[in-house]
Amino acid sequence: MHPLILAIESSCDETSAALIRNGKVLNNIIASQRIHEQFGGVVPELASRAHQQNIWRVVDQALREANVDVHDLDAIAFTRGPGLLGSLLVGASFAKGLALGLGKPLLDVHHMQAHVLAHFIDDPVPSFPFLCLTVSGGHTQLVVVRNHLDMEVIGETRDDAVGEAFDKAAKILGLPYPGGPLIDRYAQEGNPKRFSFPGADIPGLDFSFSGIKTAFLYFLRDQVAVNPNFIAENLADICASLQRQLVNMLMQKLRKAVRETGIRQVALAGGVSANRGLRAAVHEWTSSENIPCFVPELQYCTDNAAMIAMAAHFKYLAGEFADLTVAPLAGMEMERSSA
């Protein structure tokens, strides 16, 4: 079996298409939507429209660049959820139409599982089991990965995702959406110990980021009342200090998860794993503990169809196909441990 699969990702504000042959990703075409910058967040209706405009183009480009005839595809894959319903519908409908028209099987992919499976795109790949900290704009999860298609969430956020905390803090600072990468950039030149923000005292392996967001808002409101130029004069230190605390909160639970599960192999996934502060903290801790650590290449951290293609490959091998009645799910859950 050497399946050739076309994968489509459209869960949020990236329209992406990728091809995978026999488990090797051939390409990864991404059209990012700049339209949301001016609104300080993704506007769902605008996202759906932009997906509709982009989807033909990215699929066509993926096929042309890899010199693949659409009739040679063995299956069509798409992101079923979680994500914005209107955005998911564009990808799902396109994939279904193509599968129906070509008489090819359909594969539906869980977006968060795909973030984890991005680790199998290139060598070195983790062995099983491993612990994955999946951090994105919509999720913050600690996942025990037992096999490609066997994952269990052992901790997750009770409110905001960590990417959301980055983006909301950036918005408070007057930075455009998505602010996470900008906070990362300014933090490079700042003093991370200049200001301190409160963590969260959540039992077990769950996270909470709503408290730090509120504390950040009040801190700035008070400072700006005294000095209207406070943000401009201290931007790098503010970003570095906030980033340090967010990274500490993630690291604290990651260390706890390693202790409690005994799984001594960790991976980072999702958009926030592009963050330099987080990457450095994980590298530092894992090397001091002699724990193998896996961090995806930058293009596979944020949303992309290559990871959907990778997940689709494993589903194809397992014979887990979808039928044409499959509907996208905005709030698609992963299995969660009862402990």
Footprint of Zn ion (CB under 5 A): 136, 303
**Residue 266 CB: number of other CB atoms within 10 A?**
24
167 lies in the site for ligand KG4, by CB under 6 A: yes
303 lies in the site for ligand KG4, by CB under 6 A: yes
Tell me the window of 54-62, 69-77, 116-124, 159-167 that interacts with ligand KG4 (CB under 6 A).
159-167
Q: For residue 193, give the nearest of 252, 162, 236 by alpha carbon.
A: 236
* Cα separation, 27 vs 35, whole angstroms: 25
Residue 111 C-beta: closest distance to Zn ion, Å: 6
Task: Pick one of 126, 138, 296, 328: the residue that binds ligand KG4 (CB under 6 A).
Answer: 138
* Cα separation, 228 vs 158, whole angstroms: 34
184 lies in the site for ligand KG4, by CB under 6 A: yes
When the beta carbons of 156 and 167 are compared against ligand KG4, the nearer one is 167
275 lies in the site for ligand KG4, by CB under 6 A: yes
Contacts of 309 (CB under 8 A, 6+ apart): 5, 6, 7, 18, 19, 20, 25, 77
- Contacted entry of ligand KG4, Zn ion, none for residue 274, CB cut-off 5 to 8 Å set by kind: ligand KG4
Residue 178 C-beta: closest distance to ligand KG4, Å: 4
Residue 161 C-beta: closest distance to Zn ion, Å: 10
- Residue that is written with structure tokens 């014979």 in the block: 319
Residue 83 C-beta: closest distance to Zn ion, Å: 8
CA distance readout (Å), 167 to 3, 11, 37, 47, 239: 39, 18, 11, 17, 12
When the beta carbons of 136 and 234 are compared against Zn ion, the nearer one is 136
Q: For residue 70, give the nearest of 40, 101, 39, 96 by alpha carbon.
A: 101
208-171-306-151 Cα dihedral, nearest 10 degrees: 10
Task: Pick one of 81, 86, 91, 137: the residue that binds ligand KG4 (CB under 6 A).
Answer: 137
126 lies in the site for ligand KG4, by CB under 6 A: no
- Residue that is written with structure tokens 């951290």 in the block: 301
- Contacted entry of ligand KG4, Zn ion, none for residue 155, CB cut-off 5 to 8 Å set by kind: none
Residue 336 bridge partners (DSSP):
153
Residues found near ligand KG4 in the complex (CB under 6 A): 12, 136-138, 163, 166-167, 178, 180-181, 184, 270-272, 274-275, 302-303
